[in-house]
Amino acid sequence: MSYKVVFHIDWDDDKILNMALGNIENLIKDPSATGSEIHIVSNGNSVRLFRTEFCEENIARIKSLHSDGVRFCLCNNSLNKLHFKPEDMIDICEVVPAGIIEICKLQTAGCAYIKP
């Protein structure tokens, strides 16, 4: 069995990011999750957590999960509001027009919603 999951992060809090990353690592380790579709959508102030200069502690984990197929989506509206540029962010992150719309699309496509 495989799963379709979207993890939603909207607070600028390393503990929440670490919980989400740990949840995803545990999900990927489980044999029943082979072939799962996993997304993290970051909006609001949480996009700061994916700035290259701020995420040295988590960059290896994030890149490892990305290589396992996890998709990291950042809200363009939030980037603009906070005056961040896509090039300020970890290079594996995908900028989507609106985080809330991306979450709606993923849920409509059958993704379970998880808010760590």
pLDDT for 55 equals: 75
Residue 3 pLDDT greater than 80, yes or no? yes
Distance CA 41, CA 38 (A): 10
Tens of pLDDT along 33-54?
999 999 999 999 999 999 998 7
Domain count, the chain: 1
CATH of residue 8 = 3.40.1260.10
Q: Which residues of 79-102 are buried (b: 16+ CB within 10 A; e: fewer)?
A: beeeebeeebbbeebebbeebbeb
Q: Which residue range is the domain that position 97 belongs to?
A: 4-114
Tens of pLDDT along 50-104?
999 877 888 999 999 999 999 999 999 999 999 999 999 999 999 999 999 999 9
